Amino acid sequence: MFSIQQKLILQLLFTSLIGITSYIGDRLLQQKSEILRAVSDNFTHATVSGLTWSLILIISKKSVLKNISKVFLCFFIASFVDVDHFLIAISWRLQDAMHLQKRGFLHCSTIPIMTWLFLLIYSKMLNQPNISDYGWIILSSFLSHHIRDANRRGLWFCPFGSTRPIPYYFYLSLSMAFPYFIEFCMSLLDTQQLSEKRIYNTPYVI
Ligand SMILES: [Zn+2]
């Protein structure tokens, strides 16, 4: 059981971990080995995504340990996004996947946004809050990956186009602020689910 102060310390810790993990992952991109670069980059995407969902759970006073399967789901979805490099290259060779001229469809932010919207509407129609949970998980894990890639290539909203690459420290700040934004949107849109999960006077349990 944790007090409000301890919850704030955990929020600060996980927010910092998102920034530190991203920063270390970006430094590792400077190494010479292409395989190590690809593996560390993918692991960084996955870890940042897992930390993002953990922080969303902490902010919304949900137990991280009880929801650890969803944290790992975010970890694997963010890692999976880079599979499109291989699909576009029509090859499982890392060399081919790393030297593409165009971006893969899983890097288009319109796709997770539309999926999230569909699942949210579907869950409201069927009165199944669990389905919307998966919508938020998909949105968080894809967008945390896209925000990190946006430092190099911008955010891509197909078919409308892309933004310019996001400046480095703005991207780091955006990654750390992102879980707070998602939790805020969840509290606005998922009122039914939140009324079940948020009991304001109960201590926080990790
Ligand atoms: Zn990527």
Give residue 93 CA to ligand 1 midpoint distance, Å.
16
pLDDT in tens, 60-71: 999 999 999 999
Give residue 97 CA to ligand 1 midpoint distance, Å.
11
Is residue 126 helix, strand or coil? helix
Give residue 130 CA to ligand 1 midpoint distance, Å.
27
pLDDT tens over the chain, length 206 residues: 568 888 899 999 999 999 999 999 999 988 888 888 889 999 999 999 999 999 999 999 999 999 999 999 999 999 999 988 777 666 667 666 666 667 889 999 999 999 999 999 999 898 888 899 999 999 999 999 999 999 999 999 999 999 999 999 999 999 999 999 999 999 998 655 544 455 444 556 66
Give yes or no for a contact between 87 and 104, defined as CB atoms under 8 angstroms apart. Answer: yes
User: How do 156-157 and 161-162 pair as beta strands?
Assistant: antiparallel
